[in-house]
Every structure is written in structure tokens, then in C-alpha cells.
A and B are shown apart, each in its own frame.
Chain A
Amino acid sequence: MTLDVDIKHRQGSFTLHAQFHSEGRLTALFGRSGAGKTTLVNAIGGLVRPSEGRISVNGRVLFDAGQGIDVPIHRRRIGYVFQEGRLFPHLTARQNLLFGRWFTPRKDRRADFDRMVALLGIEHLLSRRPPTLSGGEKQRVAIGRALLADPLLLLMDEPLASLDEERKAEIYPYIERLRDDGRVPIVLVSHSVPEIARLATSVVVLSEGRVAASGQAAEILRRSDLFPHHDIAEAGALLETRVLRHEDAFALTLLETRAGPLTVPRLALPAGCPLRVRIRARDVILSLEQPHAMSALNVLPCRITALTASGGPGVDVSLDCGGQGLMARVTRKSVEDLGLAPGVVVYAIVKSVALDRDVVTQAPRGEDGP
């Protein structure tokens, strides 16, 4: 899939000027509230008409102000999962799911109802009406409804924002399955770094109506300068890994990374299973010498590539561990005391227990995996 966007849109005093190109299977639009994320997906879906510019999906022009092209919403074939679900209250879950099917040209009907219902785990909800469904159930039905219309692209505008952590954790696996299924490319709006690190293959960062950066998820997430202050705790590196073996006696699992083996709490996954691990900069300790007599299990030798002041007492240290990028957040004082500078060889120490289920997730499978 290719998505090309180059639009300008004025809304009162706010101007959105977004230009990016994405080929990812799950492109995350990241930014603070008010950065223009929703306006941007609405423009792609046709719900907002930009003042200028051009939008095309797989080379099919959906909007071109210059040529006067503006494909109406119902002919764009772009699915949309809204923040609030927007299920039709007068229809059952089954009728909601089948709504779009009537309007899909017969030759384009590929999505299989039973398979979709099983994939989303909503078999038992089919005869219920939306007001009786929980928030998580509503969103799963909404996702199924959008996909059963066989869209060429699926937009998701913070579909999990209204759910608590437990419900989110319940839905992530379904989105991961859709992403790995690879039939419909997804554009996901999110302001949560953990969510993007878990789901995205590409990331577009929006800031005050402009694209601050766009590219592969692993590259973008490494750049702590892009992630606003309140996300400091979440900045870090994304490692593509696979399960090496389990150490059942200690309830641990060893992962294979380019930086060397990584020990994490026991995972219920077979050896060889691809994983994505986010190592938060705040969870990494640096040492000049190979530490011994220490409890942390993960000690990775690496070389400092750059130091970036992050405001306040903190400094972000970019590391290269055998070709694998890593980030550590240390104090300016430590930088001075230890004489940290680009080129210096250090040992990065990561506690195994810091690598919990929040940061170790199944990797996207398929062409743009590791």
C-alpha cells in the first residue's frame, strides 16, 4: 500500500499542513491533542475537505484541489473506526457488521463474515444491540463493521482512547492480527508511545499541524527529540528480536538480538517467535567497566554514538550495540563524572523485570518485519 498525502487545511486559527508518504502496513499518526491528527484522517476519509492539496491511495487520487477531484465519502472505500464506535443503535451487532456489505460491489466482496467474527471474538454478541455492549465489545464490532465493507484502507482514530488499560490489552491482539494478516493497510491515530511501539510499522509524527518526522517505526521511536516532555519516561529503542530459548527453572526467556542475548521474564511463546522489545531509555544504566557481582542479567557492551541534552538534568545517550541502536537516559552529572563522549565504550545494563508485557510484544510478521 502507498498513501500519499500533501494537504493544507485551515480551520479557524489552526492550519494543518501535512505532507508524507507511507508504505507501512500499520502507519501510526502520532501527536499531542490539537496536533491535527483527527483532521488529517478525516481528510483522508473525505469527512473534511482540505483547502488545498492532494491525497492518493495506491495511486488512486481521492482528492486533488487543483484538478477539482473530491471523491465522495461513500465512494472512497476507506473504512473508518471512530473513537466512539458510532454503531447504529437501532441495529443488532450482526446488522451493524453487515451494513457496509450491501454497498460493496459484488466482485470486491472478499472479507468473510464468519472468519472476521471469529478473528474479533464477537460470535456471542451478534444478536445484541449496541447499548448493551461494553466499550471494548463495541470497538471490536466497529472494527469488524469497517472491515466487512472491504475497504482499501482502514482508518482508526484513537479507537481505544475511551477504554481502560485492561480493555485495551484485550483489543491489541486483534489489531495485531489484522496488521499481520496484511489484507488491509491501517492508519492508526494515537498519542500513546507504548501503543505505537506495540503496533506500528511506520510512524508519522505531527506537531502543531506539521509533519515533524515520518519513517519506519524503529527509526522514529529512537528519536527522543520527537516525543514531547510528558513522554520522557517512554522514549527508548525498539528492538526486533526472536525467542532463543526458555530457562524454565528461573521462569526466564532468552531473546536473540543483534546486541547479544537479552533475558526477560518467561514468555508463553515458542522458540523462534519474532518479538518486538521496547527498551525505555530510563530503564538503562551505563557502566564504564564490565560489572560483576550484580543482580541485573542484561549487560550489553556498546559504543556511544551521540549525546543529546534533553533539558533539565537529563542527557540522552545514543548507543550502538553491535549494530543495534539503544538509548539511555542519564544525568549530566554522570556524563561528567564518567567522561562519557561519542566513541567511548560502555556497558548498558537493563534489569530483566523492566522488560515486562508492556514492552515485549509480538512483532509484525511479513514483508516489513525483521
Chain B
Amino acid sequence: MSEWLSPEEWSAVTLSLKVATTAMVGSVVPGIAVAMLLARGRFWGRHLLDAVVHLPLILPPVAVGYVLLLTFGRRGPVGAFLAEHFGIVFSFRWTGAALACAIMGFPLLVRAIRLSIEAVDRKLERAGETLGAHPIFVFLLVTLPLILPGILAGMVLSFAKAMGEFGATITFVSNIPGETQTLPSAIYTFTQVPGGESGALRLTLVSVLLSLAALWGSEWLARRVRRRLSVG
């Protein structure tokens, strides 16, 4: 494969995989927490939180990228703070691409998990408590295993979204080969230069293959989990 793809193309593929995996893994725990809050929480501002989480779904991705640039950029309030105290820099780094992808995929992740939380029979959780389990253990031992299919589905959506994310990423971290040039950015670059068609086509093919693999992999996992939950 490394002979079939040029080194630049190859690096775009591996970078995209790294960015998408980081975005997916990094947003799982916050995703579960927010989904729990939205599904179960009864607090002031729940609707506001719901709207904020869904914002990336309705805003133009470029706008999200710009907001990220303003807040997480070198001179943005959050970006400056993180860079100064923790040495974490997002702007024009692959980590920034991962952040942009995570935020764009977050509503999809939260939606999938929230639906599965709402489908959990809360009577089972009560039963767990009558057996002496603290609500935290009930969550870990009863709720979490029961919503696992939803979490997996959400993770796949988040990963797929990250593999295809373009607008927010290019606005926030630009299109630097080897650092922030993900698959979509690389395809876009190929289409902008004369004679780039074959490279664009090759990378598009890789995209299709990776997406199908992710989809099939998740279907297989979800089937296994569902079988465990129903017929055993």
C-alpha cells in the first residue's frame, strides 16, 4: 500500500486515523456524562445545554472552526491558558484537528448514547440498589453494560464524522501536510492542483474502504453485544 500511495498521501491517511481515533476516544466519557445529564437530569439550563451540544450539527462547520480559533487559538482565552499552564497547544497542530473533529461529532455521539439511556428500564437500577449497590456501582454494573450498544453506535458515528470532517478543521488548524492535512484536506488539495485527479481518486477510494470497514466492524460488535443482552 505504501508503494501505491505517495508518502504525502500515506501520511494524510495515518494522520486522519490518528485524529479520528483521538477524537472518538477523547469524547466518549464526556459524551456519556452529557447524555446522562440530558436524559436523566432535572436542572435549570438543561435545554440550553441540549442546544449547545447540538449547535455543531446546525452551524456551518466553518463557523465552528472560527469559534474554535477564537477560543482555543494562541491568543484565545482558553488556548492561551492551556498553552501557558499545561503546554497544550491546539492551533495548527494535529491535536487541534482532533478537537475540531471531536466537537463536530459530539452531537451524534450524545444522541446515540442518550437514546439508549432512555431505553434502560430504571426498575433494574432500583433492583440493583436494593441489593446494596451504591448508585455509582449500579451505573457501572447495570446501566453501563445495558447502554453499551448505544455507546458503540455513538463511537462509530463520531469516528465516521471525524474521518470526513473538513470545514471546521481547515478553518481552525489549516492544511499543513504532515501536521494537519487530514484525508479530506488532502483530497481537496489534490483537486486544486493540475494533475491531481489520480491522487484525489486514490484517497477517495481509501476513504470509502476505511468507512466501510468502520461500519462493518461496528455492526459486528453491536450484534455481539445485542446477542449477549437478549438471547445469550
Report the Cα distance A74→B137, complex, angstroms: 10
Q: Contact partner of B131 among A46, A47, A103, A129, CB < 8 A?
A: A103
**What's the minimum C-beta distance from A105 to chain B, rounded to whole angstroms?**
9
A150 to chain B: closest residue by CB: B132
Is the beta-carbon distance between B137 and A103 smaller than 8 angstroms?
yes
Interface status of A100 (Cβ within 8 A of chain B): yes
Is the beta-carbon distance between A90 and B132 smaller than 8 angstroms?
no
A77 to chain B: closest residue by CB: B132
Report the Cα distance A92→B145, complex, angstroms: 13
Report the Cα distance A331→B55, complex, angstroms: 77
Report the Cα distance A89→B231, complex, angstroms: 9
Q: How many residues of B contact A (CB 8 A)?
A: 24
Q: Which of chain B's residues 116-157 have a Cβ closer than 8 Å to chain A? A: 121, 123-124, 126-135, 137-138, 141-142, 145-146
Q: Which of chain A's residues 98-130 have a Cβ closer than 8 Å to chain B? A: 99-100, 102-104, 128-129
Interface status of A347 (Cβ within 8 A of chain B): no
Is the beta-carbon distance between A90 and B145 smaller than 8 angstroms?
yes
Give the chain B neighbours of A129 by CB distance below 8 A. 228, 231-232
Chain A contact residues (Cβ within 8 angstroms of B): what range? Answer: 20 to 34
Most buried by A among B133, B138, B146: B133
Give the chain A neighbours of B132 by CB distance below 8 A. 74-75, 77, 100, 103-104, 149
Is the beta-carbon distance between A82 and B123 smaller than 8 angstroms?
yes
**What's the minimum C-beta distance from A127 to chain B, rounded to whole angstroms?**
9
Q: Which of chain B's residues 60-102 have a Cβ closer than 8 Å to chain A? A: none
A148 to chain B: closest residue by CB: B131
Give the chain B neighbours of A37 by CB distance below 8 A. none
Interface status of A229 (Cβ within 8 A of chain B): no
Give the chain B neighbours of A103 by CB distance below 8 A. 131-134, 137
B135 to chain A: closest residue by CB: A74
Is the beta-carbon distance between B231 and A132 smaller than 8 angstroms?
yes
B225 to chain A: closest residue by CB: A90
Q: Provide the B211-227 mask, 1 if CB < 8 A to any CB of A, else 0.
A: 00000000000000000
A86 with B133: in contact, given A129-B232, A131-B231, A132-B231 (CB under 8 Å)? no
- The binding surface of chain B is classed by DSSP as helix
A73 with B229: in contact, given A90-B145, A99-B131, A99-B133 (CB under 8 Å)? no
A74 with B231: in contact, given A80-B127, A82-B127, A86-B124 (CB under 8 Å)? no
Report the Cα distance A145→B142, complex, angstroms: 15
Q: Provide the A74-99 mask, 1 if CB < 8 A to any CB of B, else 0.
A: 11111110101010111010000001
Q: Contact partner of A131 among B121, B133, B232, CB < 8 A?
A: B232
Q: Which of chain B's residues 156-194 have a Cβ closer than 8 Å to chain A? A: none
A73 to chain B: closest residue by CB: B129
Is the beta-carbon distance between A89 and B146 smaller than 8 angstroms?
yes
**What's the minimum C-beta distance from B133 to chain A, rounded to whole angstroms?**
5
Is the beta-carbon distance between A47 and B126 smaller than 8 angstroms?
yes
A146 with B130: in contact, given A86-B123, A88-B142, A103-B137 (CB under 8 Å)? yes
Q: Which of chain A's residues 43-85 have a Cβ closer than 8 Å to chain B? A: 45-47, 72-80, 82, 84
A145 with B230: in contact, given A47-B126, A73-B126 (CB under 8 Å)? no
**What's the minimum C-beta distance from A74 to chain B, rounded to whole angstroms?**
5
A86 with B127: in contact, given A129-B232, A131-B231, A132-B232 (CB under 8 Å)? yes
Give the chain B neighbours of A84 by CB distance below 8 A. 123
Q: Contact partner of A90 among B127, B138, B146, CB < 8 A?
A: B146
A45 with B133: in contact, given A92-B232, A132-B232 (CB under 8 Å)? no
B228 to chain A: closest residue by CB: A90
Is the beta-carbon distance between A128 and B137 smaller than 8 angstroms?
no
Is the beta-carbon distance between A88 and B231 smaller than 8 angstroms?
no
Is the beta-carbon distance between A99 and B229 smaller than 8 angstroms?
no
Report the Cα distance A128→B232, complex, angstroms: 8
Give the chain B neighbours of A102 by CB distance below 8 A. 133
Is the beta-carbon distance between A45 and B130 smaller than 8 angstroms?
yes
Q: Contact partner of B229 among A90, A104, A128, CB < 8 A?
A: A90
Most buried by A among B128, B135, B141, B232: B232
Interface contacts beyond A73-B129, A88-B128: sample of 6 additional A-B pairs, CB < 8 Å, sorted by A:
A74-B138, A100-B132, A103-B131, A103-B132, A104-B132, A146-B131
Query: What are the 10 tightest A-B residue pairs by CB atom distance, in nearest-first order?
Result: A129-B232, A100-B131, A103-B132, A73-B129, A86-B127, A80-B130, A90-B145, A74-B129, A149-B131, A103-B133
23 A/B residue pairs, CB under 8 Å, sorted by A: A45-B130, A47-B126, A47-B130, A72-B129, A74-B131, A75-B132, A76-B130, A78-B130, A79-B130, A79-B131, A80-B127, A84-B123, A88-B124, A89-B146, A89-B230, A90-B228, A100-B131, A102-B133, A103-B137, A129-B228, A129-B232, A131-B230, A131-B232
Chain B residues at the A interface, C-beta cutoff of 8 Å: 121, 123-124, 126-135, 137-138, 141-142, 145-146, 228-232
